[in-house]
Structure 1
Amino acid sequence: MEIVKICPNCRAEVIDNFQLCWNCNYSFIENRIVEIAEQDQLKRQITCLRCKGVPMRFSGNYKFHEGSRLGAMGNLFELFVNKETFDLYVCPKCGKVEFFTP
């Protein structure tokens, strides 16, 4: 069972290790709502461990879920599926991929 916290701005349940509310972009670190333009500045500046210092490129935020839809009741079963969101970074030299929670 995942530990969740409640967003003080919109009262949404947020997984405890997330730094931003998925619903309203409230930053638990800065205690304020972060604008979309500011989020680009929060992207990690990381380098590839294999290529010794080559900067990795931010490829976007990807949403994954476990399971699949099952017939006519598919949308109902989606309520019980584990869904995660990750920021994806790719090394332009060797193709190494790294995932980070947003």
Structure 2
Amino acid sequence: MKNCPNCNSETEDNFEICWKCNYSFTEGKIIEFKDELPGGKEIDCLRCKVPMHYSGIYKFHEGNKTGLWGNVFEIFVNRESFDLYLCHKCGKVEFFSP
């Protein structure tokens, strides 16, 4: 075990990056990792001018579930999917077609 010089947490000897603060032992600095989800784009909020966070693909459908056989009839319902982006500063939500 070795100690991180940045946050003083114990890290396995074979790790090159601290698990707690992302300090790189080989480069001697903290590494910033971007959250990269599949389909994610870098989009700024139009109100706040801060980067919006990709929240994933959300699927919506038109119509109601009908009683006991509701799940069976779901195959006949129109489904749409959208990429969802959130602004954590103002709460704005943006939908984009994938």
Give the TM-score normalised by structure 1. 0.53
Structure 2 contact 37–54 (Cα < 8 Å) conserved: no
The residue type equivalent to 1:87 in the other structure is: D
- Tell me by how many angstroms 1:79 deviates: 2.6
Runs of 5+ consecutive residues of structure 1 not aligned to the other structure? 1-37
1:69 aligns with 2:39: no
Runs of 5+ consecutive residues of structure 2 not aligned to the other structure? 1-35
1:100 aligns with 2:96: yes
1:46 aligns with 2:43: yes
Whose Rg is larger?
A: 2
The residue type equivalent to 1:45 in the other structure is: E
Greater share of helix: 1
CA RMSD of aligned residues (A): 1.9
Percent of aligned positions with the same letter in both sequences?
Answer: 63
1:91 aligns with 2:87: yes
Instruction: List, as ranges, runs of 4+ consecutive aligned residues in structure 1 with deviation greater than 3 Å.
Output: none
